[in-house]
Amino acid sequence: MSALPGAVRIREVGPRDGFQNEPEVIPTERKVELIDALARTGVKRLEVTSFVRPDVIPQLADAGEVLERIDVPESVAVSVLVPNERGLDAALEHHAKIDEINGFMSASETHNQKNVDRSVAESLDGLRRTFARARAEGLRCEGVISTAFGCPYEGHVHPGRVLAIAQELAEAGAEEVGFGDTTGMANPLQVRDFFEQAGPALPDVELTAHFHNTRGQGLANVLAALEAGVESFESSFGELGGCPVPAGATGNIATEDLVSMLHEMGVQTGIDLPALLACARAVQYHLGRPLGSHTLVAGPIDWR
């Protein structure tokens, strides 16, 4: 176990991972307002949308319009999720608005088939081509591995399998690999053991942890990852999101809960927590329902 880092990097994924699970379509104007507000909280990395088939995820059918209308400071790296080369083609039509692309696949064959109707090998082949083209266009690439800590269909996913996929993604051009606890199956001991293996196995790759709070262990898993040397995380304001494939896969860890905990432990994020809470309250208002974020309910700790 290593000492905690002095600072970490957080990618806010709510506008993509969070919004895509909402049953009612959020008006484009509201999305733009929320993204612009999030971009002014001190967040330095922001995943704003995904170029997926509109009949599969209607919520993100306005991906291009959202990108063209947002007003994000230059200090904020804008990323989009692309499922394949067709998604990259659509994203490149808005190249000037994008800094990074995130390509995804699952560690589990069953989840990958249900999610993208491809085998793991087929997804890897597609991401190799996608990353090569994206890097040629000057875009940074993140490879995202879903079900990295367990699959709702297959159960245990061997860490060696996950790391082998990660190494393939790195060889394909991913400068960053995100490990997703897609349905909240991870536990802290598992997380610590995994990242203690991942660090030496992937010495030149940014390792990012993406936890869901499905079973209430999200922040405990963050601490375990921190203790194993992880300095990059993904989260969603308001605890929005979840995997659309299996039932019961609830939201990501809330960015405001993550930031609150990290700041209390002396780990800096560069994020203004009150400004972030204002964004979470705004999306809660627009959705017309209470959200799962604890800090949104209790407020930040005031030691005065």
Tens of pLDDT, residue by residue over 270-293, are: 999 999 999 999 999 999 999 989
Which residues are part of the catalytic machinery?
243
Q: How confident is the model at residue 56 (pLDDT cuts 50, 70, 90)?
A: confident
pLDDT the model gives residue 1: 53
Among 213, 248, 247, 249, smallest CA distance to 233 is for: 213
The pLDDT of residue 249 is above 70: no
Residue pair 20/245 in contact (Cβ under 8 Å)? The answer is: no
Q: How confident is the model at residue 181 (pLDDT cuts 50, 70, 90)?
A: very high
What integer is the mean pLDDT of 116-140? 96
The pLDDT of residue 93 is above 80: yes
Q: How confident is the model at residue 251 (pLDDT cuts 50, 70, 90)?
A: confident
38 CB-near residues (< 8 Å, 6+ apart): 12, 14, 15, 46, 237, 276, 279
Q: Calculate what percentage of the chain has a pLDDT beyond 90.
A: 88
User: Which tens digit of pLDDT belongs to each residue from 7-53?
Assistant: 999 999 999 999 998 888 999 999 999 999 999 999 999 999 999 98
Q: How confident is the model at residue 115 (pLDDT cuts 50, 70, 90)?
A: confident
The string of DSSP letters for the chain reads -PPPPSB-EEEE-IIIIIGGG-SSPPPHHHHHHHHHHHTTTT-SEEEEEE---TTT-GGGTTHHHHHHH----TTSEEEEEESSHHHHHHHHTTGGG-SEEEEEEESSHHHHHHHHSS-HHHHHHHHHHHHHHHHHTT-EEEEEEETTT-BTTTB---HHHHHHHHHHHHHHT-SEEEEEETTS---HHHHHHHHHHHHHHSTTSEEEEEEB-TTS-HHHHHHHHHHTT--EEEEBGGG----SSSTT--PBPBHHHHHHHHHHTT-B----HHHHHHHHHHHHHHHTS----HHHHH------
The pLDDT of residue 88 is above 90: yes
What integer is the mean pLDDT of 90-110? 96
pLDDT the model gives residue 244: 58
Residue pair 236/13 in contact (Cβ under 8 Å)? The answer is: yes
Dihedral sign (CA 35, 240, 246, 164): positive
Among 18, 30, 102, smallest CA distance to 66 is for: 30
pLDDT the model gives residue 246: 56
The pLDDT of residue 70 is above 90: yes
Instruction: From residue 183, give the alpha-carbon distance in Å to each of 150, 171, 197.
Output: 8, 27, 22
Domain boundaries, the chain: 9-298
Q: How confident is the model at residue 194 (pLDDT cuts 50, 70, 90)?
A: very high
Q: Which CATH architecture has domain 9-298?
A: Alpha-Beta Barrel (3.20)
Q: How high is the mean pLDDT of the chain?
A: 94
The pLDDT of residue 304 is above 90: no
pTM as predicted: 0.95
The pLDDT of residue 161 is above 90: yes
Q: Which of 22 and 260 is assigned the larger pLDDT?
A: 260
Residue pair 76/37 in contact (Cβ under 8 Å)? The answer is: no
